[in-house]
Amino acid sequence: MKKQSKLSELRWPIGIILAILAVVVLGIWTIEQAKMNPVVEDDYYFDSYQNVERNINDIIKKQQAFDKKYNVAIDAKAFQIGKNTLAITIMTKANAPVNDANITIKITRPDTDQFDKKPKLKSHQNGIYTFEPFDIEKIGRWQIMTKIATPDQLISFTKTEVNATK
């Protein structure tokens, strides 16, 4: 029988140690990459994840009842770099204007909350709610997120995609 060389005897232990080191290095690299791309919580429902999770059935029922009773139209087709305005029309299915809704609005980028805009309600008349002007400083995709609450305790959440151009 031939004697195996020292190197061939150590082949498996060296391979195992190298594999463990590779896993550790890749784990550290993954953590560093995750730190550079922080998590942005989705706030589509304008509330914390825990509250939405707890009340989702009630939220869905109110949304469905709202959709059966009201029509909502957002007039924004595109944004321009600089000042922009926004109006939302709320009508009943029978074409009667709704003048007593409570509207919360947020203009946001889909990937970050760094550029969020929360314009305040300027005026409302005949079911048309006009908001204060707001600045758009970046071209690309934007989202108009709305929460509409009516006096009859119905709620609507919408997300509308809009592009911003120069």
Q: Is 148 exposed, middle or buried (0-12, 13-18, 19+ CB in 10 A)?
A: buried
Residue 165 predicted with pLDDT over 90:
no
Any domain includes 131: yes
Strands 78-80 and 155-165: parallel
pTM, rounded to two decimals? 0.72
Number of domains in the chain: 1
Any domain includes 55: yes
Any domain includes 90: yes
For 30-65, write each residue's pLDDT tens digit: 999 988 877 777 788 888 888 889 999 999 999 999
For residue 90, the enclosing domain spans: 49-165
Domain with residue 126: its CATH number is: 2.60.40.10
Whole-angstrom distance, CA of residue 127 vs CA of residue 133:
19
For 102-120, write each residue's pLDDT tens digit: 999 999 988 888 888 899 9
